[in-house]
Amino acid sequence: MRRAHRVAARIKAGTVWINAYRVVAPSVPFGGYKASGMGRENGIDAVHAYTENKSVWVELSGATRDPFTLG
């Protein structure tokens, strides 16, 4: 098992199976390594490919805030 993990770490591929061919799960990224393919499918890595971060702040107290102070 140690040797298998050592070899898997050195293989330049998106998926390596060790005695478990074609095992997949929706939560595990699949596909695309380096310039191969269109990136990752499944898992949180796929979500990151289609999303961007955005911060939205909402004042719920009804008070007017001073835009020059923090907090």
Q: Smallest Cα–Cα separation from 33: which of 50, 15, 51?
A: 15
Listed range (8-17, 42-51, 60-69) with the worst mean pLDDT:
42-51
pLDDT in tens, 31-59: 767 666 666 777 787 778 778 888 888 88
Share of the chain residues as helix, strand and coil, in percent rounded to the nearest 5: 25, 5, 75
What is the pTM for the complete model shown? 0.48
